Amino acid sequence: MANFKGHALPGSFFLLFGLWWSVKYPLQYLSQKVTKKSHKIYCFQRVDAIEGGIKIIFALIGMLAEQFVPDGPHLYLYSGENRDWVKLMNWQHTTMYLFYGLSGVVDVFTYVSQAVPQGLDRLMLSVAVFVEGCLFYYHVLHRPMLDQHIHSLLLIAVFSGACSVMLEVFLRDNIVLEMFRAGVTIVQGTWFWQIGVVLFQPWGGPMWDENDHSNIMFLTMCFFWHWAAAVAILAINYTLAYWYGWGMSLSRSGHVERTGGSCPPSVPEYRCL
């Protein structure tokens, strides 16, 4: 959708996932340190499957919104005797959502089936992010300079994320890569909102001058303010997770002292945190 809502919708999805990952991965990493286990705790594996299902739902919402808004293509790729293309911008957004939906499907199958190779979920997510980047690169190729520039800044976060997730295929459960992914996903989310505000002014006010170089300079600076805010969010959430894990570790130590041993055999160890 070539309007503010068309940017706010994917921005909200990316922002929610980025914020969730910024909480999930520190908790997972610190829980593994507390329990002295190198493999992923079962409850986090189950969360991965739920996360995949939510990703599928978000993708379906996005595809339906792009296709069936009043001025959408309604599944028509071309029309008329001349077979003119119908709303290709909506179709590009639909394609982006499609690949994120496929990523969610692979997430679910990775959890329910041992036959799925390890790392395939990360590979599919990397492909989805790469497809998003390619689509947006050609999305604004011959648009006004300000439009091109503000989307090119988005591509920095997109392709950085694609490369980072590809590394996760080979470096599984690496907290640095996982936190970096969370950070660039937050930046994607907030920057989608910024693009919508700059190009469409949803709350009124003068439109941005697309030929003023000062606007390009400001937006470049503003993009890295978004990135700084994402880093601050990561730091805060990691610190909160650390304090939570430290408190749970003390609680577990007290339990061991009272019982004279580790968790009872009938109780999974992670439940004693």
DSSP string, 129-164: HHHHHHHHHHHTTTS-HHHHHHHHHHHHHHHHHHHH
Q: What percent of the chain has pLDDT over 90?
A: 61
Structure tokens at 134: 């390619």
Using the predicted structure, report yes or no on whether residue 31 has a pLDDT greater than 90.
no
pLDDT band at 202 (very low <50, low <70, confident <90, very high): confident
Q: Assess if residue 256 is contained within a domain.
A: no
- pLDDT, position 34: 66
- Number of domains, the chain: 1
In a domain, 38, yes or no: yes
Q: Comparing 46-50, 173-177, 195-199, which segment has the lowest mean pLDDT?
A: 46-50
pLDDT at 252: 59
- What pLDDT was estimated at residue 71? 86
In a domain, 217, yes or no: yes
Q: Is residue 26 part of a domain?
A: yes
Q: What is the pLDDT of residue 269?
A: 43
Q: Is 55 exposed, middle or buried (0-12, 13-18, 19+ CB in 10 A)?
A: buried
pLDDT confidence tier of residue 258, bands split at 50, 70 and 90: low
The stretch 251-256 carries a mean pLDDT of 56
What mean pLDDT is reported for the chain?
A: 87
User: Where does the pLDDT of residue 140 fall: very low under 50, low under 70, confident under 90, or very high at 90 and above?
Assistant: confident
Tell me the C-alpha distance between 60 and 81, whole Å: 31
Domain membership flag for residue 167: yes
- The strand pairing partners of 84, in sequence order, are 79
Asked if residue 271 belongs to a domain, the reply is no
State the residue range of the domain holding 37: 4-249
Note the pLDDT of residue 248. 62
The answer to the question of residue 236 being in a domain is yes
Q: Is 260 domain-assigned?
A: no
The per-residue pLDDT for 194 is: 96
Q: Are 105 and 60 in contact (CB under 8 A)?
A: no
258 versus 74: the higher-pLDDT residue is 74
- For the cut 90, the answer to whether the pLDDT of residue 98 exceeds it is yes
